[in-house]
Structure 1
């Protein structure tokens, strides 16, 4: 592995709980991601996958341990980080074009320059004919394309993606997965992609990180030796994909069962 652009060293995060005691979301988390690498993170529901992204983005400080981006310890939001959330952050009073132009504008670009850059990305995500539309006029898949353009317009070196396609129907989700791979290819950006969908993780990633049941830590890391470029529907039908799936699921299913048992016990 090349020098990592993201590195977590024994990172632990605790949050206050309603009982007055701290809740540990992740514990002793150690992970590295290199430039141009696509890493998917899977684990049981509520184990702390999203917290991992919050630590890398600087939205939450580690309670213990250290988090580094480009070799510098994370103490605030690092430059060059794009974050795509499960719920899109599209502003309802702005058109598609102006939503995408917002990032460059916040970074000091003139209105005309920001809109010119945004227009390029609106076209790249297949929405050139909808640049003047408003969010309420768009389908779910189109809104996700806007959110993807919002993330990529700033040319991030690191892309953090928190179940960005989970609310989409199966067909639209597959299309967006292919769109993401197409737009990411050649950018050199490091991607950390959190998902509950193991098929999605394997179809997209270079490596799949399996997290334990809460409080989460890294249990296993699996390489995905599937060639690129990939078509997600085609790759899911290959023998290589099924072999990797069985191997990763064997590790993940144990943690899913543990999480269910713990939920039943607490309930």
Structure 2
């Protein structure tokens, strides 16, 4: 059996707070992601889900414990990592073509080859004909397609996604979920997908990791035995989906309630 591509082993991350105290975002966090595996991470608001991505990406070092990619400790941004954020990371002064070509160009690819790669991915995400458009001329869903092409054009081995579709309307969000599954299929990339939406987590993932209220640690891990390929809107209507949702929600609900109680106590 192949070793995990990503390992967090008792990882803890502490930050100085504004009051001079220390805030612990995640504590003793242990989880693994295998090559080609799609893992969704859910938990209460502010529990440390995004911090988990920062640790894997090398943007933040752990305060304690270990974070490994390909068996090596993460000390900087590992090779082959693509990161898709909640907010658009497209550059407003660049066209769609130049935005998508920017990743290969930063990696030293010649301009003509970078543009050829970008044109291929623009077509794959359904934006052929929009190469010369600028971000302000596109809808929210189209900008997300640009961001997907921008991320996937470099053929990442690890894809980190921090609530990338949360700002979209319901219909566009479902379309983008299907689009992500279509584009990811066959790439062999491992995905860590952070979301507040349990429906989204189940529809997309091979495995759902439930984090506790802050400071986050892993509470439960659920395998998702739904066949691929998947169409998310059809999947949500099945009895199998509802049974999986009910099981995971029983775990997640307790942490959401704890987070609400903490918030109410702070206000009081």
Shared topology, TM-score over 0.5?
yes
- CA deviations on 1:15-49 (whole Å, 9 max, x unpaired) are 00012111000000000000000000000000000
Shift in Å, 1:139 = 0.1
> Which secondary structure state, in structure 2, belongs to the residue aligned with residue 83 of structure 1?
strand
Q: Which residue of 1 aligns with 2:187?
A: 187
> Which structure 1 residue ranges, 5 or more long, are not aligned?
none
Residue in 1 that maps onto 2:89: 89
Moved segments of 4+, more than 3 Å: none
Q: How does 1:14-29 map to 2 (within 5 A)?
A: 14-29=14-29
Q: Deviations over 1:112-157 (max 9, x none)?
A: 1100000000000000111110000000000000000000000000
TM-score where L is the length of structure 1: 0.99
Deviations 1:192-248 (A, max 9, x none): 000000000000000000000000000000000000000000110111100000000
| Structure 2 gap segments, 5+ residues each | none
Two-structure CA RMSD over aligned residues (Å) = 0.6
Q: Name the CA distance, whole Å, in 1 between partners of 2:76 and 2:104.
A: 20
Alignment partner, residue 228 of structure 2: 228
Q: How far off is 1:52 after superposition?
A: 0.1
- Secondary structure, counterpart of 1:200 in structure 2: helix
Deviation at 1:2, TM superposition (A): 3.5
Tell me the equivalent position of 1:200: 200
Match of 2:58 in 1: 58
Tell me the residue number matched to 2:46: 46
Counterpart secondary structure, 1:129: coil
Where 2:90 maps in the other structure, the secondary structure is coil
Corresponding pairs, count: 267
Q: How does 1:147-226 map to 2 (within 5 A)?
A: 147-226=147-226
For residues 238 and 80 of structure 2, the distance between their equivalents in structure 1, rounded to whole angstroms, comes to 36
Structure 1 window deviating more from structure 2 (1-10 vs 163-172): it is 1-10
Aligned residue for 1:161, secondary structure, equals: strand
Task: State the match for 2:68 in structure 1.
Answer: 68
